[in-house]
A and B are shown apart, each in its own frame.
Chain A
Amino acid sequence: MPVEVSRATIFVEGKPFEASATTNLLDACLSLGFDIPYFCWHPALGSAGACRLCAVKKFANEKDARGRIVMSCMEPVVDGLRISIDDPQAREFRASVLEWLMASHPHDCPVCDEGGECHLQDMTVMTGHVYRQYRFKKRTHRSQDLGPFVNHEMNRCIQCYRCTRFYRDYAGGGDLAEFASRDRLFYGRHEDGVLESPFSGNLVEVCPTGVFTDKTFKRHFTRKWDLATAPSVCVHCSLGCNTIPGERYGTLRRIRNRYNSRVNGYFLCDRGRFGYEFVNDAKRIRKARLAGHGSTDGDDETREFLLRRAAEAVAGPHQAIGIGSPRASLEANFALRELVGAGRFYAGVADNEWRLTELALKILRGGPARPASLADVRLSDAVLVLGEDVTNTAPLLDLALRQAARRGPVEAVVKAGTPDWHALAVTDLVQDARGPVFVAATHRTALAAVAEEFLLTPDETARLGFAVARRIAGEASPGDLPPELESAAARIARALQAADRPLVVAGVCGGDPAVLRAAAAAARALSNGKRKAGLFLVFPESNSVGLALLGAGSLKDGIDRVMSGEAGTAIILENDLYRRLPAGAADRFFDKCRSAILLDHVHHATAERAGLVVPAATFAESEGTLVNAEGRAQRFFKVCPPPRGVRESWRWLCDFARAAGRREAAGLRNLDDLILAIAAEFPELAGIREAAPPAGFRIHGSKVPRESQRSSGRTSIHAEADVREGAPPLDLDSPLAFSMEGAPGIPPSPLIPRFWRPGWNSVQSVNKYQAGIGGPLRDGDPGRRLIEPPASTSPGFSVDGPRAETVGAGEGLLFVPVYQIFGSEELSVRAPAVASLIPKPVLLLHPDDAVMLGIGSGDRVELEVQGETLSLPAKITAEMCRGAAGVPVAPSGALGLDLPARGKIRTVRKP
């Protein structure tokens, strides 16, 4: 939303109110706390005027007693506007509109998954429609199978156009459209099939009724009022989208979006929304396992035994090293660091990735370009993406960049006098115009639809980036680019320089330090002068930045320490070393390691090799702090207590440290102790204290309840095991309670466990939690930014060339990583719905390279990279750059390899 420039006074029922003059009347009234029913208006999608429900009465002046009915979503706020929401005629109008919309709505609320959090139910109650007078038959539709994520039930549709407006206009999806006309209107695909957009899950929240519902939730359905919920943070990429996981009967049931205007706003990607089922995976590690002894029960005796074993391993004659994790919380990594000592704490990340992560962090700290938030990205008006396939490594960044692509044309339209909330008018005026977005990547990305894309090797990408930086800085080109790229560089530099809020995006996943430096140089060059350039660097995992901020040795050094016999024990935190090292190297490490202790929740190859496996809690059963790509520390809280025998990683590690007699760990008993210890040791991380209120926080002496006021079955949930009702579990680590009792009302924003207000059962109730529609939550958005670089530029700045540091120089074919939204991320692939969409791994080759190598399409080829041999079918496509082959980062793909790297390739078999 644009910065508010002017205020207006409007009169509602004769009383004056202050409102923003750049918005529409519905938005203004909702911001003021009035209830006006609506369907087609959505805060992120703007007004369409399609449903006719938000009618209010507008009066010409003070003397006008008659007034006329207007649609509040289509009415701009002007100073002195007089309206009545309560006017009998307006009420009658709204009630009859709703009655028409309900004429064909089926009688299936009891078996509809939307029931209980349905905007249509809420609006029906709000308008007072109770009795169906329509005597004729209901129109029906054939529903479609839209894949494993979204369930389709067209009979429930009220034709508000929200789904296609989101899917097509906002998210750029091409396979959902409206068909037919009048009351036969149909929203769906041209035929049954999986929805292609990686943001299709948002239809579940965008649809005001039950046409689109969550198919994974349907399999273990529970009403919203029965779900125990807590504020959480998505763990499936580095963006740190805020989520609301819901739990019932000890299993995680679903993920919903938690609004944060600086991060995810109203939307989530499908990996974040549907990847949660790894928590319920049958193969999850739920019991401690000692090699040769089998698994054990989670009783106290086992706990004592585990503590003894771990203490022996740590305090014994053989030194212990700790291997941290970029997907474990700051607290867990810090607890491991305390246990083994700072000098023996190593990053559980492939070496090249770790070097890049440290470099990226250095760049963000150095400035002067500011680390951009996703909100900044959405408002950028010119973007250069260097070497990162953001759709697959940080999906919601793709959605934000699509908004950035529209930003320039939309602003031009707004300048010409059309308000930006007037969605249909803006769309009509903008048509297909897109602002300057440039992408340089090794293969065709989804952003090609809104961007000018260059398919380049990492080396060429870096050169292009530097050339752009030089041109912006007014320096001479070194002339190491072919003419067409030279002219492209000039074009990109011009577009970025002409923009008010230019943005440069790069990332660690692309794997090339020169590309990162080029992005940094471009952002630095752009920040000369008054213009504020943004820099967004994508990191591989949910807490990559947090781990880098803590600092750790490289994995190679840790492995060397064990291989040289200096250390005998390795404590591995939430990590699968077979994803970090080539399989051979990992095997050799475990052969040499005397005692490997793994704390994790998902089962993987490392769990097979570890001598002692300790069951750790997932994000849904533990609390901690994650630092996202922007450098924002955000706290997540447990939704339910961990299952029997399972404990939070940080709790295990603190107990291990105490059992091993570590004095530093004596005071670390709960989460707040750890947070204070981290803040004391790392001044840069001091901000994590403010990421959420401490455990002692109370509202009028009460905790914030995880269960809703209507939560059911309190006296029968556990009755089959024991009819006596025990006390609910205590939560000593957070200000939230495992109970329906607690402080009513709106808690501080980092503690909001669900969006619900009386009369607003659906997700639309988020309106009541915001300081103005589309603005921040009432007491500020959750999370604290940790990295604020100096704003000034060093005067004697010059860009350095990429030549010496490009990776993979040398002989052989260059293999580059190709990430997949479904398949590359470790946790989400364990969710059945996500697993069903993992594409078959193929090696991508440019036709020219294929001819040179004598490889035909579909041939099975064998790759030799970093001492490992991979066998993949080849796919010859012009969507790959010349001079590099794309290896999928997925099981039976490039997992464990440190790409880009050069290697050999040979054909094994013709198809």
Chain B
Amino acid sequence: MFSILRSIGLTFSHLFRKKVTVRYPEERLALPARWRGRIILSRDPDGGERCVACYLCAVACPVGCIALQAAEDDHGRRFPAFFRINFSRCIFCGLCEDACPTCAIQLVPDYEMSEYDRQNMVYEKEHLLVDGQGKYPGYDFYKTAGVSIPGKKKEGDGDEEPPVDLRSLLP
């Protein structure tokens, strides 16, 4: 008898508590920045594509939903010729982001990805590439990589000595 009354009381006490449910889509939850949602490809501070098509995200992906092909521009800078994520297979585990050495691939707080046709869940590079730097502002892989691209000579820049003079006889 007492336990029934206690249960009724407990239930009624919820009338006066803060509501957990949100009236989605009129109202939205404020998601933390590190929420693992839709995947984007970001750009570096100069606006260049951060992705260097190293294939590490693809190999880290436990469901194999990332496919890409590396290409190289005239200046020797690598970029993905195509970059495809099959979101109908993605499990939003974030391993691709962990694997990415250039902070290019990022999971962002966006979960509104429902489609009537599963084929529309296949995102190509033009759907993935955003204009900003995402969660990691200021990082530029090529600044530290020891690879030459326009505006950054490989040799003698940043952390590097000028190229060795092979004709020097000094010890």
Chain A interfacial positions (CB closer than 8 Å to B): 106-111, 115-116, 137-142, 155, 179-182, 184, 186, 218-223, 225-226, 249, 710-717, 719-720, 722-724
User: B45 an interface residue at 8 Å Cβ cutoff?
Assistant: no
Quick one: given A226-B59, A714-B64, are A221 and B160 in contact (CB under 8 Å)? no
- In the bound assembly, the distance between CA atoms of A221 and B53 in angstroms comes to 9
Segment of B1-9, B31-39, B128-136, B162-170 in the binding face: B162-170
Q: A713 — which chain B residues lie within 8 A by C-beta?
A: 58, 61, 64-68
Closest chain B CB from A708 CB (angstroms): 10
Q: B161 — which chain A residues lie within 8 A by C-beta?
A: 137-140
CB of A225 within 8 A of CB of B59, answer yes
CB of A223 within 8 A of CB of B122, answer no
Q: A712 — which chain B residues lie within 8 A by C-beta?
A: 55, 58-59, 61, 64, 66-67
CB of B145 within 8 A of CB of A111, answer yes
- Residues 134-151 (chain B) with a chain A CB within 8 angstroms: 141, 144-147
Chain B residues touching A, range: 35 or more
Mostly, the A contact residues are loop
Closest chain B CB from A808 CB (angstroms): 52
CB of B145 within 8 A of CB of A106, answer yes
Q: A107 — which chain B residues lie within 8 A by C-beta?
A: 144-146
CB of B163 within 8 A of CB of A141, answer yes
Of all chain A residues, the one with the shortest Cβ separation from B149 is A111
Closest chain A CB from B78 CB (angstroms): 5
CB of A716 within 8 A of CB of B122, answer yes
Of all chain A residues, the one with the shortest Cβ separation from B146 is A106
Q: A155 — which chain B residues lie within 8 A by C-beta?
A: 146, 154-155
Residue in B54, B78, B101 with the greatest tally of chain A CB atoms within 10 Å: B54
Q: Which 6 A-B pairs have the closest CB atoms?
A: A106-B146, A110-B54, A713-B67, A714-B64, A712-B58, A140-B155
- In the bound assembly, the distance between CA atoms of A182 and B145 in angstroms comes to 24
**Which of B86, B119, B146, B168 is in CB contact (< 8 Å) with A108?**
B146
Q: A218 — which chain B residues lie within 8 A by C-beta?
A: 72
CB of B52 within 8 A of CB of A723, answer no
Q: A710 — which chain B residues lie within 8 A by C-beta?
A: 59
User: B73 an interface residue at 8 Å Cβ cutoff?
Assistant: no
Residue in B55, B70, B88 with the greatest tally of chain A CB atoms within 10 Å: B55
- In the bound assembly, the distance between CA atoms of A155 and B161 in angstroms comes to 11
Residue in B64, B88, B171 with the greatest tally of chain A CB atoms within 10 Å: B64
CB of A137 within 8 A of CB of B58, answer no
Closest chain A CB from B136 CB (angstroms): 15
Closest chain B CB from A374 CB (angstroms): 36
CB of A180 within 8 A of CB of B168, answer yes
Q: B164 — which chain A residues lie within 8 A by C-beta?
A: 139-141, 180, 184, 186
Q: A138 — which chain B residues lie within 8 A by C-beta?
A: 146, 159-161
The contact sample of 6 A-B pairs, CB cut-off 8 A, is A142-B155, A155-B155, A184-B166, A226-B55, A716-B64, A723-B121
Instruction: Known pairs A141-B155, A723-B118; list 15 more (Cβ under 8 Å).
Output: A108-B145, A109-B54, A110-B56, A110-B102, A137-B159, A137-B160, A138-B161, A140-B146, A141-B163, A180-B164, A186-B166, A219-B72, A713-B67, A716-B64, A723-B122
User: B48 an interface residue at 8 Å Cβ cutoff?
Assistant: no
- In the bound assembly, the distance between CA atoms of A109 and B55 in angstroms comes to 11
- In the bound assembly, the distance between CA atoms of A714 and B162 in angstroms comes to 44
- In the bound assembly, the distance between CA atoms of A717 and B68 in angstroms comes to 8
CB of A719 within 8 A of CB of B122, answer yes
- In the bound assembly, the distance between CA atoms of A604 and B79 in angstroms comes to 36
CB of B166 within 8 A of CB of A719, answer no
Q: B166 — which chain A residues lie within 8 A by C-beta?
A: 179-180, 184, 186
Q: B162 — which chain A residues lie within 8 A by C-beta?
A: 140
- In the bound assembly, the distance between CA atoms of A722 and B117 in angstroms comes to 11
Q: A142 — which chain B residues lie within 8 A by C-beta?
A: 155, 163
Residue in A142, A179, A713 with the greatest tally of chain B CB atoms within 10 Å: A713
User: B152 an interface residue at 8 Å Cβ cutoff?
Assistant: no
CB of A715 within 8 A of CB of B171, answer no
Quick one: given A137-B160, A138-B160, are A716 and B85 in contact (CB under 8 Å)? yes
Closest chain A CB from B102 CB (angstroms): 6
Of all chain B residues, the one with the shortest Cβ separation from A155 is B146
Residue in B84, B141, B163 with the greatest tally of chain A CB atoms within 10 Å: B163
Closest chain A CB from B120 CB (angstroms): 9
Closest chain B CB from A758 CB (angstroms): 15
Contact with A along B96-124 (1 / 0, CB 8 A): 00000110000000000000001101101
Of all chain B residues, the one with the shortest Cβ separation from A251 is B69
- Residues 79-95 (chain B) with a chain A CB within 8 angstroms: 84-86, 88-89
Q: B70 — which chain A residues lie within 8 A by C-beta?
A: 221-222
Q: B124 — which chain A residues lie within 8 A by C-beta?
A: 720
Q: A110 — which chain B residues lie within 8 A by C-beta?
A: 52, 54, 56, 78, 101-102, 141, 145
CB of B86 within 8 A of CB of A719, answer yes
Q: A222 — which chain B residues lie within 8 A by C-beta?
A: 55, 69-70
Residue in A182, A711, A715, A719 with the greatest tally of chain B CB atoms within 10 Å: A719
Closest chain B CB from A274 CB (angstroms): 18
CB of B65 within 8 A of CB of A716, answer yes
CB of B101 within 8 A of CB of A109, answer yes
Q: B59 — which chain A residues lie within 8 A by C-beta?
A: 223, 225-226, 710, 712
Closest chain A CB from B59 CB (angstroms): 5
Of all chain A residues, the one with the shortest Cβ separation from B63 is A715
Quick one: given A106-B147, A723-B86, are A111 and B78 in contact (CB under 8 Å)? yes
Q: A181 — which chain B residues lie within 8 A by C-beta?
A: 171
Q: A184 — which chain B residues lie within 8 A by C-beta?
A: 164, 166
- In the bound assembly, the distance between CA atoms of A223 and B56 in angstroms comes to 9
Of all chain B residues, the one with the shortest Cβ separation from A223 is B55
Quick one: given A106-B145, A249-B69, A712-B67, are A723 and B119 in contact (CB under 8 Å)? yes
Q: A722 — which chain B residues lie within 8 A by C-beta?
A: 119
**Which of A106, A139, A225, A717 is in CB contact (< 8 Å) with B67?**
A717
Q: B72 — which chain A residues lie within 8 A by C-beta?
A: 218-219, 221
- In the bound assembly, the distance between CA atoms of A712 and B89 in angstroms comes to 13
CB of A715 within 8 A of CB of B78, answer no
Residue in B52, B85, B144, B166 with the greatest tally of chain A CB atoms within 10 Å: B166
Quick one: given A140-B162, A723-B118, are A716 and B66 in contact (CB under 8 Å)? yes
CB of A716 within 8 A of CB of B67, answer yes
Of all chain B residues, the one with the shortest Cβ separation from A156 is B146
CB of A111 within 8 A of CB of B155, answer no
- In the bound assembly, the distance between CA atoms of A592 and B144 in angstroms comes to 69
- In the bound assembly, the distance between CA atoms of A229 and B66 in angstroms comes to 20
Of all chain A residues, the one with the shortest Cβ separation from B158 is A137
Closest chain A CB from B130 CB (angstroms): 20
Closest chain B CB from A248 CB (angstroms): 8
Closest chain A CB from B77 CB (angstroms): 8
- In the bound assembly, the distance between CA atoms of A138 and B160 in angstroms comes to 5
- In the bound assembly, the distance between CA atoms of A653 and B93 in angstroms comes to 51
- In the bound assembly, the distance between CA atoms of A180 and B68 in angstroms comes to 41
**Which of B67, B145, B155, B168 is in CB contact (< 8 Å) with A719?**
B67
CB of B89 within 8 A of CB of A140, answer no
CB of B54 within 8 A of CB of A716, answer no
CB of B86 within 8 A of CB of A111, answer no
CB of A715 within 8 A of CB of B154, answer no
CB of A719 within 8 A of CB of B84, answer yes
Quick one: given A181-B171, A720-B124, are A140 and B154 in contact (CB under 8 Å)? yes
Closest chain A CB from B37 CB (angstroms): 18
**Which of B86, B119, B155 is in CB contact (< 8 Å) with A715?**
B86
Residue in B59, B85, B171 with the greatest tally of chain A CB atoms within 10 Å: B59
Of all chain B residues, the one with the shortest Cβ separation from A179 is B166
Q: B64 — which chain A residues lie within 8 A by C-beta?
A: 711-716
CB of A140 within 8 A of CB of B156, answer yes
Q: B118 — which chain A residues lie within 8 A by C-beta?
A: 723-724
Of all chain A residues, the one with the shortest Cβ separation from B118 is A723
- In the bound assembly, the distance between CA atoms of A269 and B74 in angstroms comes to 29
Closest chain A CB from B89 CB (angstroms): 4
**Which of B52, B58, B63, B163 is in CB contact (< 8 Å) with A111?**
B52
